[in-house]
Structure 1
Amino acid sequence: MHLIITEKHDAAKRIAAILSEKKPAKERINGVDAYKFDGKTVMGLSGHIVEVDFPKDYNNWQKTDLKELIHAEVQTTPTHANIVTALRKLGKEAEYLTIATDYDREGELIGVEALNVIKKVNPEVPADRVRYSTITPAEIKKAFASPANIDFNLAAAGESRQVIDLIWGAVLTRFVSLSSGRLGDKFLSVGRVQSPTLAIIVNREKERDVFVPVPYWELFATLVNGGEFEAQHKKGRFLDKNEAEQIKAKLGSTGTVKSIVLGKRNEKPPIPFNTTEFLRAASSIGISAANAMRIAEFLYVNGYISYPRTDNTVYPATLDTKDIIASFLNTEFHAYSQKLLSGKLEPTRGKKETTDHPPIHPATPAKRSQLKDDEWKIYELVVRRFFATFAGETQWETMAVTVDISGEEFGANGARLVEPGWRWYYSYNVPEDRILPQLREGQVLTVKEVNLIGKETQPPSRYGQGHLIKIMEDMGIGTKSTRHEIISKLYSRAYVVGNPLQPTKTAYAVIEALEKYANTITKPEMTSKLEQDMDEISEGKITEEYVVNESKDMLEEVFSDLFKNKELISESLKNGLYEDRIIGTCKKCSSDLIIRKSRKGSRFIGCSSYPKCDFILPLPKSGQIVITDKQCEDHGLILSK
């Protein structure tokens, strides 16, 4: 029997249907579905079927010596017993094994994990590897016709990440949680990638905290004569209100067109989607990074789009882009497909070119009725971006007008879209036309009204998910496969709320303590160096053992700094965490109102001066409590949710 292992059940079902001439027979093995045809059996896993962990002796946080934990043995244990049992049963019967998991570090490691399980019951079974970027009939058949060797270096790079993240996460999380007294389900997680990411968010918020708004004024004139438009004084911002008022006072009732400058502006089409650009685009249409990746994974497994985890921004020559475009001729994208095919197909190119997977692109046409609303939004986004990379430039006609009003210059800029180019295909966030009336130099215009508007400078904006992922990529924090997961973890641990991301007081407390006493943890350089090392493992330049030991040495230095300042860190964290419980001022006695727990474990808002003051407010029995910057209209308190 030829056993074929895929990463997930849906992929197994689809690949079996593609490879078999007839409908494959489904068999239930230890609660796991397998698909049989022509002497072949296809079985799907559920991602990782084993995990790395410390022996049970280290489970007690308070009794474990954390320095000893750095060098503790790391063991592998099954996470899906039923799948492992089914794998052993089928593996024992297998005469040949093919690993058909996703082609990246994680996928290679998952495949090697399955191989190791099977080798224990069938040591001599020969094995190979198939690689593909779309689960379509043509590509799957081509992949199985020319299998390759398993890349054990790539798997080792994936395993090194697991081991390093386990050790760093366990040691740092336990230290910070024990120091702060936050144990149980309220523990404070700290991680090699998570903490530098959180530091970026907190430091941006600190910039906002210290920002002092500067008042300024802008002067506008509404002009009419054959059309109405608004022009702004050429100085732009006035920091001196008296100066602006003096200019306003001297303005007459007419103005003269001093100059008209006509021009053209072209916008180049976008580059192909890699994971980062895809997640940024999804975020711009209101779909979170984590949700976008979940949907993209579903679309990939079901054959609608290519593999969504890629750094590539250049379509490989082997990708039949013309055939993909032509496949949409009988869909609602007919007009776009037809227009592209009528011209020369020359796609844009980004700076990153890799050989593992192509940029994200549509694989097969889909109908709206086949997908849920968000699934269709992501699918349409991928299709439109793919089309746009083959389209021409967008062309705008521009018009810059200068008007003299009593010796003061006012300006207005207009723009009109004359050739949609790629924006016809990729119709997201298209700027609106700003049409100015037909004017000529020397023309006299009537000043309808003059407005002096007072404003303030604004603090730096918070980072949205898409922007943060781009910053993480630029700094070498995390990978294309993990960045969205890190952001999700920050939400789940109540370190951030909202989008754009706003850090909680808990996030402030953790990052401020780490930056003061062990700032290596919050800097991108350390995690970026380890990411580079993992790349070198996959390239066979260095070994997994070398990188893991190097990371342990780094962690020992960090832990030494933490341990030396244990008492100071504990005090800093406890003070900061207390602030995160404060939601307002008690109206009865003016003390702090804080989130408290009763002896029975229920939550409520109570006065910090209890028992002198017994003011309380109820809280829901379940759900995560996060302090926001909104206020309760009834009590004037900071709202929790």
Structure 2
Amino acid sequence: MGPLKTSEMPMSKSNEVLIVCEKPTACKKIAKILDENNKPKSLKKDKVTFYKAFRNGLELNIVSAIGHLYTVVKKDKSKTWDYPFWDVKWVPSHEVNKADKSKVEFIEFIKELGEKSDYCINACDYDLEGATIGYNVIKYCFGQNHVDKAARMKFSNLTEQEIINSYDNLLNSLNFNLIDAGLTRHEVDYLYGINLSTALTASTRTSDVVKFKLLSTGRVQGPTLKFILEKEKKIRNFVPTPYWKILGTIDIKGKEFEIEYEKARIDNLQEAKDVLKACRKKDGIVENIESRTMTRQPPIPFNLSSLQSEAYNHFGYTPSRTLNIAEKLYLSAHISYPRTGNQIIPDEMDVKAIITQLATLKDYKEPAEYLLKTGKIIPTKGKKTDPAHPPILPTTETPTSELKTVGEQKLYDLIVTRFLALFADPASIESYKIILGVNGNKFFLRSKKIIVPGWMDIYHYSRTKEVELPDIKIGQAFSLNLKREDKFNQGPSKFNQNSLRKKMEVNEIGTKATRASIIDKLYKRGYIIGKSIDLMDLGLSVTEVLDKNCPEITSVEMTRNLERRMDEIEEAKITREDVLLDVRGHLDPILQRMKEREEEIGNELGESVKRTWNKQRIIGKCISCDDGQLVVIRSLKTKKRFIGCTNYNICNTCLKTREECTCKCEACGQSKGTCECKEKVFVPKCDTSFPIAQKGTLTPIPGKTCAFCESEFGINYPMVQIWLPGARRPFNSCMNWVNHPKKPKKAKKVKETEINLEEEIKSGEEEIKKMKDQKKSKKIKKNKKTVKKIG
């Protein structure tokens, strides 16, 4: 695909070109850059905003596809629970998902614009998704003729220079290998996901316990859940064994320092006691001082994986949150494209221009100017490459005002300081080990001192903690304060979102762009919960059922091989049809096996679903009565849900349920359980209740209570996790949220201006004099009119 000049485009009399972008923000920015006067016309039809820009005699219609306008569905109209099926087609997404109803207007309007345009350009992100989105819009809105002559803009950031260069040097055709790989990935995921999910859900319909429960799995979800299950088993089967440590402190010139015994752990209690006994009331004599100098090389450039890890380590951001923030910074043109695996900055990239621009920012002026003065602008390199995009770097379009959110500020600082550190000198650290002898036993006192800070002065997130000691000489004696600590060896720790993402990456399942969303999906499905990930009963049951009946679905090897096969499509080694045939040959016997065991699988899943529902319903112990549990209840009258006590349905007098209550009704004299009087008053044993969100999945958080309510009211109200429909992530809420103070609205920022007090007073006096003169003038005019009238 060679470069294509816009002057070489085959045009008719209209001279109109349609440019399809992926997101509205990118669309607006590209339109402004491409317009000759940087003032494109913003036009709106119904809910669709598009832009008209003029450049080199061409009229550019620039429109956003707002993500995927087309999706995959079954080709035939077979019954919902019929499986397996293999024929699929692409249709407008609003035909499948009601939430995409607004996309109808976009499709219709893009078709209108296409009829007027001679030429189409795909300006979506240069990756699998961007290739797929742009191709589908051009193909299904305008037809194959437009696809054959369409061009491609390739850019890695949204700066003016990059976009103009991309437009002036268009790729003369779409990247069909990339398109085939993108289409195949969607179709394979659909075939796996829908067929397996249909099989699981259909099996619950045969259960005596639960008649229906929508369940899902997929080619990446299955192995990911298996990782969590295997970790859970290791944790459960781990048997802790005791060991002992000798810890101590030493006082040097009034300052206390920690020392450690020569053995990191002692497996025999008597040995630990003997060490303490031998060292009691004895001084430690400095026998030797060992020192060594270590050199720490600067870090390598960020790719998405390393950025997600650093953001989790330093800010606690989940992988999906990091990606979302990075996406906003990219759309603001402050950083390059974030979904990259590259760790090597291309030689042709003008990094000096980026550093020069960063020197204009107050926070980065000093390190940037220092790097420019050295004249050695050579970055470090990693091992991973990505031909489509460079590593994640700041751009020459630096923020002109404060970034909108704290998340954006933190992530931008992380990216900028990391980038500047790539060009800095190595750091030099001197470490010391002072060996103290006490009655035949040895203790170590360690210290670290940064001799040359180098890059660590810039990228402060990785700065080594220093422990500086006063001057110590061999032969000096110091009194020791020693103690024995009883310990148990720690078992494997649970996954968090970042460590699970790393596990997926190491095992080559999912892509750098999809791993975070797959983990989010497992939370939404109610399969996992918590920051330290716990496998819910439902997740456990689905994984065990799949592992028992079709172990290939939870196999890492199967998913990894499929990922590699799809990568080979992009490299033009195999065709899309080859992969789809492989998928059918692999998946069909598995689904037939599941169909044969449908009832058995349904009963296993049914029990698990029931246990999960019961667990999710119970929030915790009632804070008002002794024997009640707080549960999610749905009102028979209003049909709304709320959190209430299990004794809410028990009569306070006869201690029977509402339906069985034997107390006499005040209106008719019959028992309240059988009478239908509207006037009857039912007094519950406990009427404790709390309002909750009416939509979304509500999950109790075991052992977690509200710190605010504990300090304010002295009551440990349980916390719940709520995941609202369409939300990107869940949020934690106290069930007593109605009694929490409302968050104050953020005050609007007022621009600060310098005020000259003398000038302001003088100006004020002049204004007052002017007003008095005007008033006087009005009085004179009024008097003249009166005199004239009298005369």
Same-fold status (TM-score > 0.5): yes
Please list the CA deviations of residues 450-485 of structure 1 after superposition, one character each: whole Å capped at 9, or x if unmatched: 211122222212222222222211111111111111
CA contact (8 A) 2:302 2:392 kept: yes
Residues 342/454 of structure 1: CA separation in 2 closer, same or farther (3 Å cut): same
Q: Which of 460, 474, 478 is residue 510 of structure 2 equivalent to?
A: 478
Q: Partners of 1:613 and 1:524 in 2: how far apart? A: 54
In the other structure, the counterpart of 2:463 is: 430
Q: Partners of 1:34 and 1:119 in 2: how far apart? A: 18
In the other structure, the counterpart of 2:354 is: 324
CA contact (8 A) 2:298 2:455 kept: yes
Residue 508 of structure 1: how far off its partner (Å):
1.4
Residue 486 of structure 1: how far off its partner (Å):
0.7
In the alignment, is residue 549 of structure 1 matched against residue 581 of structure 2? Answer: yes
In the alignment, is residue 219 of structure 1 matched against residue 246 of structure 2? Answer: yes
In the other structure, the counterpart of 1:19 is: 34
Q: Partners of 1:508 and 1:597 in 2: how far apart? A: 28
In the alignment, is residue 271 of structure 1 matched against residue 286 of structure 2? Answer: no
Q: Partners of 1:565 and 1:520 in 2: how far apart? A: 16
Residue 77 of structure 1: how far off its partner (Å):
2.6
Q: Partners of 1:399 and 1:180 in 2: how far apart? A: 65
Correspondence 1:90-105 to 2 at 5 A: 90-105=113-128
In the alignment, is residue 291 of structure 1 matched against residue 315 of structure 2? Answer: no
Please list the CA deviations of residues 8-39 of structure 1 after superposition, one character each: whole Å capped at 9, or x if unmatched: 12112111111112111122234322211322
Q: Partners of 1:191 and 1:437 in 2: how far apart? A: 61
Residues 360/545 of structure 1: CA separation in 2 closer, same or farther (3 Å cut): same
Tell me how many residue pairs correspond in the alignment. 634
Question: Bigger CA drift: 536-545 or 150-159?
Answer: 536-545
Residues 19/190 of structure 1: CA separation in 2 closer, same or farther (3 Å cut): same
Q: Partners of 1:222 and 1:379 in 2: how far apart? A: 41
Partner of 1:516: helix, strand, or coil?
helix
Amino acid of the structure 2 residue aligned with 1:302: S
Residue 625 of structure 1: how far off its partner (Å):
2.9
Please list the CA deviations of residues 92-120 of structure 1 after superposition, one character each: whole Å capped at 9, or x if unmatched: 01012211111011101111112113433
Unaligned runs of 5+ in 1: none
Residues 405/379 of structure 1: CA separation in 2 closer, same or farther (3 Å cut): same
CA contact (8 A) 2:30 2:163 kept: yes
Amino acid of the structure 2 residue aligned with 1:388: A
Q: Which of 306, 328, 332 is residue 336 of structure 2 equivalent to?
A: 306
Q: Which of 211, 218, 226 is residue 191 of structure 1 equivalent to?
A: 218
Q: Partners of 1:458 and 1:327 in 2: how far apart? A: 49
In the other structure, the counterpart of 1:392 is: 425
Residues 445/589 of structure 1: CA separation in 2 closer, same or farther (3 Å cut): closer
Please list the CA deviations of residues 603-637 of structure 1 after superposition, one character each: whole Å capped at 9, or x if unmatched: 768889x9999699867463423244316799999
TM-score by length of 2: 0.74
Residue 585 of structure 1: how far off its partner (Å):
10
In the alignment, is residue 204 of structure 1 matched against residue 231 of structure 2? Answer: yes
Structure with larger Rg: 2
Unaligned runs of 5+ in 2: 1-15, 95-102, 658-684, 722-791
Q: Partners of 1:521 and 1:178 in 2: how far apart? A: 18
Q: Partners of 2:72 and 2:501 in 1: how far apart? A: 27
Residues 255/589 of structure 1: CA separation in 2 closer, same or farther (3 Å cut): closer
Question: Bigger CA drift: 136-145 or 590-599?
Answer: 590-599
Partner of 1:316: helix, strand, or coil?
coil
In the other structure, the counterpart of 1:110 is: 133
Correspondence 1:595-610 to 2 at 5 A: 602=641
Q: Which of 605, 609, 626 is residue 699 of structure 2 equivalent to?
A: 626
Q: Partners of 1:142 and 1:239 in 2: how far apart? A: 67
Residue 56 of structure 1: how far off its partner (Å):
7.6
CA contact (8 A) 2:243 2:265 kept: yes
Amino acid of the structure 2 residue aligned with 1:502: D
Amino acid of the structure 2 residue aligned with 1:43: V
Residue 567 of structure 1: how far off its partner (Å):
3.5
CA contact (8 A) 1:5 1:100 kept: yes
In the alignment, is residue 259 of structure 1 matched against residue 259 of structure 2? Answer: no
In the alignment, is residue 566 of structure 1 matched against residue 598 of structure 2? Answer: yes
Question: Bigger CA drift: 379-388 or 575-584?
Answer: 575-584
Residue 563 of structure 1: how far off its partner (Å):
3.1
CA contact (8 A) 2:72 2:88 kept: no
CA contact (8 A) 2:630 2:643 kept: no
Amino acid of the structure 1 residue aligned with 2:83: L
Partner of 1:57: helix, strand, or coil?
coil
In the other structure, the counterpart of 1:160 is: 184
CA contact (8 A) 1:279 1:289 kept: yes
Residues 606/75 of structure 1: CA separation in 2 closer, same or farther (3 Å cut): farther
Please list the CA deviations of residues 163-201 of structure 1 after superposition, one character each: whole Å capped at 9, or x if unmatched: 111111111112223334599996222111122112212
Residues 359/631 of structure 1: CA separation in 2 closer, same or farther (3 Å cut): closer
Residues 235/556 of structure 1: CA separation in 2 closer, same or farther (3 Å cut): same
Residue 223 of structure 1: how far off its partner (Å):
2.2
Question: Bigger CA drift: 505-514 or 361-370?
Answer: 361-370
In the other structure, the counterpart of 2:278 is: 250
Residues 140/636 of structure 1: CA separation in 2 closer, same or farther (3 Å cut): closer
In the other structure, the counterpart of 1:169 is: 193
Amino acid of the structure 1 residue aligned with 2:311: A
In the other structure, the counterpart of 1:132 is: 155
Residue 526 of structure 1: how far off its partner (Å):
1.4
Residues 572/438 of structure 1: CA separation in 2 closer, same or farther (3 Å cut): farther
Residue 498 of structure 1: how far off its partner (Å):
2.5
In the other structure, the counterpart of 1:143 is: 166
Residues 469/11 of structure 1: CA separation in 2 closer, same or farther (3 Å cut): same
Please list the CA deviations of residues 343-370 of structure 1 after superposition, one character each: whole Å capped at 9, or x if unmatched: 2122111111221100010112114514
CA contact (8 A) 1:219 1:244 kept: yes
Residues 429/403 of structure 1: CA separation in 2 closer, same or farther (3 Å cut): same
Correspondence 1:31-42 to 2 at 5 A: 31-38=47-54, 39-42=59-62
TM-score by length of 1: 0.91
Amino acid of the structure 2 residue aligned with 1:498: G
Question: Bigger CA drift: 464-473 or 4-13?
Answer: 464-473
Higher relative contact order (CA 8 A, sep 6+): 1
Q: Partners of 1:613 and 1:236 in 2: how far apart? A: 62
In the alignment, is residue 461 of structure 1 matched against residue 461 of structure 2? Answer: no
Amino acid of the structure 1 residue aligned with 2:368: S
Residue 590 of structure 1: how far off its partner (Å):
10
Q: Partners of 1:353 and 1:147 in 2: how far apart? A: 23
Partner of 1:414: helix, strand, or coil?
strand
Question: Bigger CA drift: 201-210 or 314-323?
Answer: 201-210
Question: Bigger CA drift: 481-490 or 512-521?
Answer: 512-521
Q: Partners of 2:496 and 2:445 in 1: how far apart? A: 31
Identical aligned pairs, as a percentage? 30
Amino acid of the structure 1 residue aligned with 2:573: K
Q: Partners of 1:34 and 1:186 in 2: how far apart? A: 43
Residue 136 of structure 1: how far off its partner (Å):
0.8
Residue 54 of structure 1: how far off its partner (Å):
2.0
Residues 338/621 of structure 1: CA separation in 2 closer, same or farther (3 Å cut): closer
Question: Bigger CA drift: 350-359 or 25-34?
Answer: 25-34
Partner of 2:25: helix, strand, or coil?
helix
Question: Bigger CA drift: 360-369 or 615-624?
Answer: 615-624
Residue 592 of structure 1: how far off its partner (Å):
11
Residues 515/121 of structure 1: CA separation in 2 closer, same or farther (3 Å cut): closer
